[in-house]
Structure 1
Amino acid sequence: MEKINCHKCIYYFVTWEAHQPHGCKAYGFKAKMIPSMVVQNSSGKPCSLFQLKTPVSK
């Protein structure tokens, strides 16, 4: 199974909170771990809401 890279997802964001630096807008939570790992650990299934960011054209 391929690992999900949250940094490439449109729903991922970085918070200002030192104890919860990672966030997921799709699921609506902040966490210490990368959101895809939290989803995997809590549900036993990989994140189903991952959507790849589209590159910005210059």
Structure 2
Amino acid sequence: MNKTNKSTNKRLTCNGCIYFYITYKKERPWGCKKFGFISKFSPATEVFNTTGIECAYRISKNS
């Protein structure tokens, strides 16, 4: 039987991070101030696809 752990399937999101911002550019609507890039996809997705690890710099705005 294949058991899956729900916590391993959960991905990090940029919503609520102090470095996340919206560019309002149609081609690249999201950006990350920490890494200094804008992207068509969520910055957390770009970081994971590029490095293979979750973003370690996420800081919640509520902290």
- Shift of residue 3 of structure 1? 1.6
The yes-or-no answer on 1:36 pairing with 2:44 is yes
Report the equivalent of 2:13: 5
Rg larger in structure: 2
- Shift of residue 27 of structure 1? 0.3
Report the equivalent of 1:53: 61
- Shift of residue 5 of structure 1? 1.7
Instruction: Report the TM-score, using the length of structure 1 for normalisation.
Output: 0.86
- Mapped to 1, the partners of 2:12 and 2:50 lie a distance apart of 15
User: Deviation string for 1:5-41 (max 9, x for gaps)?
Assistant: 2011010000021000000000000000000000000
Structure 2 residue runs without a partner (length 5+) = 1-7
RMSD over equivalenced CA pairs, Å: 1.3
Structure 1 residue runs without a partner (length 5+) = none
After TM superposition, the runs of 4+ consecutive aligned structure 1 residues lying more than 4 A away are none
